[in-house]
Amino acid sequence: MERITWDQFFMAQCHLLAVRSTCTRLAVGATIVRDHRIIAGGYNGSISGGDHCIDHGCYVVDNHCVRTIHAEMNALLQCSKYGIPVAGSTLYVTHFPCLQCSKAIIQAGIRRVLYATDYKNDVYAMKLFAQAGVSVQQIPFNEGKIDFSSEEKYSLFEEMLSTMQKLGAKDEELAPFQERADQLFVK
72 is catalytic: yes
Pairing of strands 37-43, 29-34: antiparallel
**Measured between alpha carbons, how far is 25 from 58 in angstroms, rounded to an integer?**
8
Give how far Cα 152 sits from Cα of 27, 148, 163, Å. 28, 9, 17
64 phi and psi, to 5 degrees? -140, 130
Give the number of C-alpha atoms closer than 13 A to the C-alpha of residue 161, restricted to the C-beta side. 18
90 close to 33: Cβ distance less than 8 angstroms? yes
Choose the catalytic residue: 72, 143, 152, 179: 72
Q: Which distant-in-sequence residues (6+ apart) come within 8 Å of 124 by Cβ?
A: 99
Q: Which residues are catalytic?
A: 72
